[in-house]
Amino acid sequence: MIRYVVYWARMVACVLKGGRLYYTWMGSLLVLILLGAWSYSHDVVDGLIRTNMTDEVSWGIGIANFVFCVGLAASALLLIVPAYVYKRHDAKEVVLFGELLAVVAVVLCLLFIITDIGRPERLWHLFPGIGKLNWPSSMLAWDVVVYTGYLIINLHIPGYLLYKQYLRQKPNPYFYLPFVFISMFWAVTHYTVTGFLLSGLGGRPFWASPILAPRFLVSVGCTAPAVLLIILTVVRRHTHFKVQESVFDYLKKVLRFSAPLNLFLLGCELFSQFYSGARTPAAHYLWVGLNGKHGLNPLIWTALALNLATTLVWITPKFRKSHRVVIAAAALTMLGIWLEKGVGLVIPAFIPTPLGEVVEYWPNLGEILVSVGLAALGAFVFTAIAKVTIAIQTGTLAVHGGEDSPRVPAAPGSVPGGDRAPVSFPPGSDRPPASVRTPESEGVA
Amino acid sequence: MSQRPVTCTKTDCTAPSCAPDCAPSAPATGLVQLRRGGGTSRRSILQAAAGGVAAAVAAPACNTPEFEAYFQKHYKKLTDEEKVKVFARLEEKTRQKTGVRVRIGDPPPIEGVHFAYALNLSHCNGNRRCAEACARENNLPDEPEMRYIRVLELDNGSQHLERGTVYYDREKVPAPGKFYLPVQCHQCDNAPCVKACPTGATWKENDGIVVVDYDWCIGCRYCQAACPYHARRFNWVEPKIEPSRINPHQAYLSNRIRQMGVVEKCTFCLQRTRRGMYPACYEVCPTGARKFGDLSDPESEVRQIVENKRVWILKEDLGTEPRFFYFYG
Ligand code: SF4
Ligand code: SF4
């Protein structure tokens, strides 16, 4: 027990220590978080009237971000499959980053919902037993169940493996492998349920498409590798943790398939919405405008342009070779998907209303501050746990001596569940040349 | 044909929840001892929440109205005694906030009665008095304006909803070449909003009316996204009504004063209809376009219409099975 408390204390100490760049990064995030909290506190006191949402467009940027974050949570699945199903060591070395990112993404999902609802203090009404969870009828109740489960599983696996690594003990596969496999199926459920959350509403024809869940899954296959490419580049550039080039190749390969597939499914959707000439007012509003209102047109065409351009990068070998291009393309892929499957998927469903009224929506400063604050909170938490993870995985944070002394000598790079040392820097390591450093990657030190 | 939709069979009912029934003009005093002590303000609840739920739980004053309000059970789990307390607390809260003494009752569904609405589109001329009468009866705020009933002005010969408008000049009705389509909650038998609600805060009662427990709703607005008739309204701000306009004859599940951050909707004026009266929109309509009654009574007007007129329902393809019929006659 004491050992466990000490472990936590040392992790906190590890988070508090860092270089100038690290402090700058964390400090700026903290400022954004506080701004978001300040803005949200007004929503709590004065009501959601402070947002630009209305009875007509009753879900706004908060839910759009929620939907996008669901996609980020796929990062775990993306690394777990190669690591545990195909037993790729390179993927196993970084799998914890995927799982921790999933944790952060799920927490963000929940926070985006909580900050969006009218009575957050009544959340206990959802807890079975003391509250009244309308399960299995309500898709939102399914979401609550699935998210909580996913969060617990994804907290358990890295939590257990890291602690064992800290103790320099070999993890017991029975304690984590079953959960790893459960988490794979759970992840698919997670995206599917979110797809169903929207497509289950018959009154919103824009969502009531049978390919909504598949479209959703495929775009998840774009955001997750894109964000992992960025994160792992930063990790490789600014820490002693070694990420093998083959991991990057794998992520790029995923994008090579998912990005064109995403466009293909979008094309299918557009065909059925527009070719027959049937009335699809929401799609019209989104793509070409309705009743002289065009609010979302620039946004969706930008998204299309971004998705086309980045797909071109992912399928062209020449572009894929340049780190600079890859990082830029990854960032733009995220932006493109955020516009298309976040904002462009949630908001038009409300325009026009089921009774045909066209009321437009655009987030106001308060809403943007809350969203940015939450995103900053996600980045803050992820940076903190990634720092601890790296310290543990590279052996700088470990228990010393005592009865838990490792049977396996403190091999600095032993990977949880793996047997390969990721830390040593072989001469002429495949660290990228300094010339490809990007502003994002400079953030963490 | 029976003119009154139903007869209240419960005038002698002694259930506390039914106590203030059938006496709209009775002075609003007495049957239940009003509890003293402040109403629950959202701010104070949130302060409690901000200090951690633990603080709220461990607070010495576990019987303060704030505490009771925060831990109030779902309507369906409340016993009769608890209901008396809850209603008294809410009445007191309204009195403190607005100075108006109101009576909150809880008329139960009448056995065997299934309410339905029929609307004659040949008669409706779009004057929107129904929407205003509804607002007064149900204590809907004017600033920002909230209305349960939306009347669409559409081109003759078309149901192209996006070409219609709700912002027409009501002084100039009926406009040539136009017809009017009033829409309010259709009390769907297969209600998407009920299915969607994650907390069971909205449900269908035995007489067919879909209600919301405003003290249980978490304000997620999933029901609003689910409703195909744009019938649900959210309280984006603490609702404000001029005290002089408050209707003191209230029911827990319908027109009592609402709160910020929760969803509400038309309840066919259950505070009236369950006591044998007509809904406010029905009574005010000068054209006689509105028909209301008990669908299970073979003699009722609404049943006759549904059986003998060529009625239709809005968005039938969605399978919501509304209790709201349109016809031309
Ligand atoms: S009209 Fe809308 S609010 Fe009314 S019961 Fe049907 S779905 Fe629910
Ligand atoms: S807003 Fe209230 S009534 Fe509507 S789904 Fe959410 S909890 Fe249920």
User: For the residues of B307-328, what is the DSSP string, one character each?
Assistant: HHS--B-TTGGG----SEEEE-
Least confident of A77-86, A380-389, A436-445, B67-76: A436-445
Q: Which ligand is nearest to the CA of B212?
A: 2
Residues of B in contact with A119 (CB under 8 A): 217-219, 261-262
Contact B287, B123 (CB under 8 A): yes
Task: Mark whether B265 and B140 lie in a shared domain.
Answer: yes
Residues of B in contact with A349 (CB under 8 A): 225
Domain end among B40, B71, B102:
B71
Q: Look at residue B46 and tell me whether its pLDDT is greater than 60.
A: no
Is residue B309 in some structural domain? yes
Residue B311 CA, ligand 1 centroid: distance in Å: 19
Task: Mark whether B137 and B285 lie in a shared domain.
Answer: yes
Task: Mark whether B64 and B159 lie in a shared domain.
Answer: no
Question: Closest partner residue to A201 among B217, B226, B238, by Cβ?
Answer: B226
For residue B256, the number of C-alpha atoms closer than 13 Å in the C-beta half-sphere is 26
Task: Mark whether B231 and B129 lie in a shared domain.
Answer: yes
Q: Which ligand is nearest to the CA of B223?
A: 2
**CATH code of the domain containing B320:** 3.30.70.20
Is residue B77 in some structural domain? no
Task: Mark whether B4 and B135 lie in a shared domain.
Answer: no
Is residue B91 in some structural domain? no
Could you tell me which of A416, A390, A397 has the C-alpha nearest to residue A169?
A: A416
Domain end among B39, B71, B103:
B71
Residue A28 CA, ligand 2 centroid: distance in Å: 36
Residue A71 CA, ligand 2 centroid: distance in Å: 25
Task: Mark whether B189 and B267 lie in a shared domain.
Answer: yes
**Percentage of chain A exceeding pLDDT 70:** 90
Q: Retrieve residue A341's tokens.
A: 């499957």
pLDDT in tens, A161-198: 999 999 999 999 999 999 999 999 998 888 889 989 99
Task: Mark whether B39 and B130 lie in a shared domain.
Answer: no
Query: What values do phi and psi take at A90, rounded to 5?
Result: -60, -40
> What is the span of the domain harbouring residue B22?
1-71
Ligand 1 pocket, mutate which of B115, B185, B212, B314 (most atoms under 8 A from CB): B185
Contact A157, A183 (CB under 8 A): yes
Q: Is B202 in the pocket of ligand 1 (CB under 6 A)?
A: no
Q: Look at residue A378 and tell me whether its pLDDT is greater than 80.
A: yes
Task: Mark whether B35 and B157 lie in a shared domain.
Answer: no
A134–B197 C-beta distance less than 8 A:
yes
Is residue B142 in some structural domain? yes
Task: Mark whether B154 and B207 lie in a shared domain.
Answer: yes
Chain A: nearest CA to B50, how far in angstroms? 9
Task: Mark whether B124 and B1 lie in a shared domain.
Answer: no
Task: Mark whether B26 and B171 lie in a shared domain.
Answer: no
Q: Look at residue A369 and tell me whether its pLDDT is greater than 50.
A: yes
**pLDDT averaged over every residue in chain A:** 88
Number of domains in chain B: 2
pLDDT in tens, B260-293: 999 999 999 999 999 999 999 999 999 999 999 9
**pLDDT averaged over every residue in chain B:** 85
Domain end among B71, B99, B125:
B71
Q: Retrieve residue A410's tokens.
A: 């403190």
Average pLDDT over residues A358-373: 97
Q: Is B217 in the pocket of ligand 2 (CB under 6 A)?
A: yes
Is residue B95 in some structural domain? no
Contact A369, A67 (CB under 8 A): no
pTM here is: 0.86
Is residue B98 in some structural domain? no
How much is the pLDDT for B61? 58
Is residue B59 in some structural domain? yes
Is residue B88 in some structural domain? no
Task: Mark whether B8 and B137 lie in a shared domain.
Answer: no
Report the nearest atom of ligand 2 relative to the CA of B221: 1
pLDDT in tens, A94-146: 999 999 999 999 999 999 999 999 999 999 999 988 999 998 999 999 999 99
